[in-house]
Amino acid sequence: MQEKELEGVIAIRGKGFGFVNIPDQEDDIYIPVEETGTALDTDVVRISVSPAKDGKRAEGRVLEIISRGHEELIGVVEKDGENYILNPDNRRIHIKPILPSATQTDEGMKVAATLDAWTDREKTPTAQIVDTLGVAGQHETEMQAIIRSGGFSEDFPREVQDAAQELHKNQAQIFADAEKDPKRRDMRGTTTMTIDPADAKDFDDALSFEMLPNGNREIGIHIADVSHYVTEGDPLDVEAAERGTSIYLVDRVIPMLPEILSNDLCSLRPDEDRLAFSAVFEINEHGKVVDEWYGQTLIHSDKRFSYEDAQKVLDDDEGEYHEELSEMMRLARIIRKARYAAGAIAFEQPEVRFELDDAGKPVRVYTKERTETMLMIEDYMLLANQSVSTFINELSKKNGKDAAFIYRIHDMPDAERIEELAIFLKALGYELKTHKGVVEAKDINKLMKEVEGTPEEALIKTATIRSMAKAIYSTKNIGHFGLAFKYYSHFTSPIRRYPDLMAHRLLRKHLDNSPISGREKTRYEKLSVQSSERELNAVRAERDSIKYKQVEYMLDKVGQEFDGTVTGVSDWGIYVQDNESRAEGMVRLSEIKGDYFEHEASKYRIKGQKTGKSYQLGDEVRIKLVKADMEEKNLDFVLV
């Protein structure tokens, strides 16, 4: 049988071997170390594949690097004999290129470098320093390294800044023109409010409330009308598409749009007239939507609540807009209950937050309290996101058109992973109903309810999330498994997510019954794929910044004892999370005294040969911190 040639993204692992993911192909192609050529992790490569033999997975070799996955390599300059080399932060970049232009002053500095042409794996590659980020280990240096590693930038190009300034300067005229638009509904007389985190600066969404003469309630979900200001193909749009999303690091936000737009012109600020794109629902007293309207609006927010302020009004049973908040909460509870009854999975997990001093050093780590007002806002955003995509499909059917839209899709979980999850849960004493790897969302939800408040809750939620497919953006709808929605989109955050901005543009076209060409659909699909990738990079950057600060927080606590939970088991040790800071570290098997412990993978535990003592996932343990390594972002614990 002949070798065939394929293209895909390579993932380099362990000692330098790789796996190439081929779209629409179930198994990755294994690439032995000696066949990887000069490929680096995340490069797009062309490979030749020899047919699989004797039930083994197919193997391949890299023929060509089509494009590099990393435009820049971020790392520390180190001395190696006569040369200065780059030691990359990303441990999956398995090379340490020589830096011919580096000098003694660069040693110990964290830099961004670009790789020179490298075609012979027998030769050590070279790279050129393009930017010095600062002294390795300092707060600002490390934050910049995380930003640059994800391919993000805090600065906007000059033409993008100019375009934003121009819009801001002409806002009065833009607003006056919008006011004359007969399609735009004036809702400035309706009681409207925003409810956001206390430190929020950009207000994407607002809620309005009105009692109707027929006894029903009208709830408006108003979203910043970014598409009115940022038009397709202009410099602001090109930059927003490139960024894909805003990024939330522990100490800063890197916005998708310049702040003059995200925090001012587009933001639904209190006591100011604003342009919005709205989903307005007529809801009866039983929480059932009896009528809906979608379109652009003029709104005026009467009040800016923080989650805590709004919660206080509800808890005290008095205060500003008490009546409106109480009724919106009552209806939200009915909507939430119906969603869970239909099989939506409740995956809420605590968010880690830091209190930093002036130098950026963490002085306190805490988990963000989830108030019910937070859940209420989520309920209404989910209602808008689900309803708008359902509406598009019904409208398209009526008009005999294709339901071109940007969907947020979530595939059924992989059968093998679900079976593994079921075995793992059994080891912890829980039952997950599956049939040949197929699971229903309602059964996962039942499990989530069961583990609520138990020591292993966070662990089981994490393991379950890991067994799920990842939600992505696409113009092809397959539904959303986790939410148990047939149609779902992201519509409610166009200030900070590019797919929402695309959804607004497409909704306007559907409302106007404008044609959407095949070429446009192809472009939207390409942008959906790009947005999904940017989202992954953003999540990685956010996690890296949390991990770094957790290790830094523990730095001066070496020698101290903590209560922890076993979160992972491997051949070389157990992973334990400190219950307070949620920082995770390793207890090495070689460091557990008094017995020889073996890893029993199928039972998710380690067991002592002599004593029979075992440690398994979810166990509560007392640990002592013996090492905190800032460079590797690792913690080492021992059992007490």
Whether 509 contacts 215, CB under 8 Å: no
Whether 230 contacts 497, CB under 8 Å: no
Sorting pLDDT into bands at 50, 70 and 90, what band is 463?
confident
In angstroms, the Cα distances linking 433 to 128, 436, 440, 635 are 55, 10, 8, 37
The closest of 636, 618, 619 to 628, measured between CA atoms, is 636
Domains 4-67 and 558-639 belong to one CATH topology: yes
Measured over all CA atoms, what is the biggest interatomic distance in the chain, rounded to whole angstroms?
84
Buried b (16+ CB within 10 A) or exposed e, 354-377: bebeeebebeebeeeeebbbbbbb
Kindly state the average pLDDT of the residues 245-271: 96
Dihedral sign computed on CA atoms, order 126, 132, 135, 137: negative
Sorting pLDDT into bands at 50, 70 and 90, what band is 464?
confident
Buried b (16+ CB within 10 A) or exposed e, 479-489: ebbbbbbebbb
CATH of 558-639, one of 2.60.40.10, 2.60.120.1440, 3.60.20.10, 2.40.50.140: 2.40.50.140
Ranges 42-56, 96-110, 209-223, 368-382: which has the least confidence:
42-56
Whether 123 contacts 45, CB under 8 Å: no
pLDDT recorded at residue 618: 81
Burial class, 132, CB count within 10 angstroms (exposed 0-12 / middle 13-18 / buried 19+): middle
pLDDT recorded at residue 480: 94
Q: Which residues contact 291 (CB under 8 A, 6 or more apart)?
A: 281, 282
pLDDT recorded at residue 1: 55
Sorting pLDDT into bands at 50, 70 and 90, what band is 53?
confident
Q: Which residues contact 458 (CB under 8 A, 6 or more apart)?
A: 349, 350, 565, 577
Q: Would you say residue 436 has pLDDT above 90?
A: no
Rounded CA separation 16/133 (Å): 28
The CATH architecture to which 73-136 belongs is: Beta Barrel (2.40)
In angstroms, the Cα distances linking 178 to 280, 299, 431, 503, 508 are 19, 12, 57, 20, 14
Q: Which residues contact 318 (CB under 8 A, 6 or more apart)?
A: none
Strands 83-88 and 73-80, by their bridges, are: antiparallel
Dihedral sign computed on CA atoms, order 112, 115, 121, 122: negative
pLDDT recorded at residue 263: 95
The CATH architecture to which 4-67 belongs is: Beta Barrel (2.40)
Tell me the pLDDT tens digit for each residue of 571-595. 999 999 999 899 999 999 999 988 9
Rounded CA separation 406/387 (Å): 13
% of the chain beyond a pLDDT of 90 = 75
pLDDT recorded at residue 424: 84
Tell me the pLDDT tens digit for each residue of 127-142. 999 999 999 989 999 9
Residue spans of the domains in the chain: they are 4-67, 73-136, 158-400, 558-639
